Amino acid sequence: MRMFDLVPPLRLAVAALAAFAASAALGLPEGYWAALSAVIVARPLPGAATQAGTDRLVGTFVGGGVACGAALLRPWVESDLALLALALLPSALAMTWKDGWRTAPVAAVIVISAVPGAHGAAGAALLRVAEIALGAGFGVATAWLLLPASSERAAEGLAAKALGLLREVRAAAEAGEAEAARGHLARVGVLRLRLGRVIGGSKWERADRDALARLQAALARLSISTAYLARALAEAAPEAAADHARGLAHRDAAALAALLKSRRPDVPGA
């Protein structure tokens, strides 16, 4: 394990402890909500942490607001089940609008469960939002301030790792090791998903998103051409078809390697 690999867990711990301490200092009753929010928001990259924090806060606002509206009907709705449904269903539908708003139903349940004689629905909603905002704030701040990483460097590293794996796919396919080739391709698929998430979060950073999109497209082309080559060799395709597949894979590998080399000559695998 490299020292750099310890940075994200360190940020997570610092953010959660700082959020809990700040909650206690401010006299908020549920410091663990703030700590939990910081843990959920924590991400290895600042852009991803900012996106997660924004989604969590907005989701909490949505769920808390819907639950407050449902709580106003408490005098006329005798069934707790019906009241919960009025709060939960619209909040759950918010997730169809944006997947990141998964906190909306959670906030709705917490707010609607508030005892009327204590803080009430409005008070519970405000406390919930305050705790979430505090935790999310610390989660985002530590990502930006405590040994921050770069989405561009992370994307380049993932693409270089995928390039290396795709070379292994080609070698395994040429050696007739179809099972090994499929395994490497599956790992490349995981790396491509991670790359997509990194690029999605990079909008909060000063990243060259057009260049990252070109990197993603080059990796996609190489993945397709290498999978085509592996399939052609596994199915004992005619030599002309296999040679065509080899040419495509070689061309796309060279293009991705050149793109990586132009951006960061020190990236392994470029």
> Do 62 and 76 share a domain, yes or no?
yes
**Mean per-residue pLDDT pooled into runs of 10, the chain (270 residues):** 73 95 92 91 89 90 87 84 89 82 85 61 78 91 88 90 94 91 94 91 84 93 94 85 91 93 66
For 226, the domain range is 151-263
> Do 129 and 158 share a domain, yes or no?
no
pLDDT value at position 24? Answer: 94
> Do 83 and 120 share a domain, yes or no?
yes
> Do 161 and 239 share a domain, yes or no?
yes
pLDDT value at position 112? Answer: 81
pLDDT value at position 118? Answer: 43
> Do 102 and 225 share a domain, yes or no?
no
pLDDT value at position 12? Answer: 93
270 found inside a domain: no
> Do 76 and 172 share a domain, yes or no?
no
269 found inside a domain: no
Within 10 Å of residue 209's Cβ, how many Cβ atoms? 15
Residues with Cβ within 8 Å of residue 49, at least 6 apart in sequence: 41, 42, 43, 139, 140, 143, 144, 201
> Do 238 and 210 share a domain, yes or no?
yes
Q: Where are the alpha helices (DSSP H) in the chain?
A: 7-25, 31-41, 46-71, 80-97, 103-112, 120-145, 151-174, 178-201, 209-234, 239-263
**Tokens of residue 92, six digits:** 């759950």
pLDDT value at position 266? Answer: 62
Q: For residue 187, what is the domain's CATH number? A: 1.20.1440
pLDDT value at position 79? Answer: 86
In 3D space, the residue among 137, 108, 144, 146 whose CA is nearest the CA of residue 35 turns out to be: 137
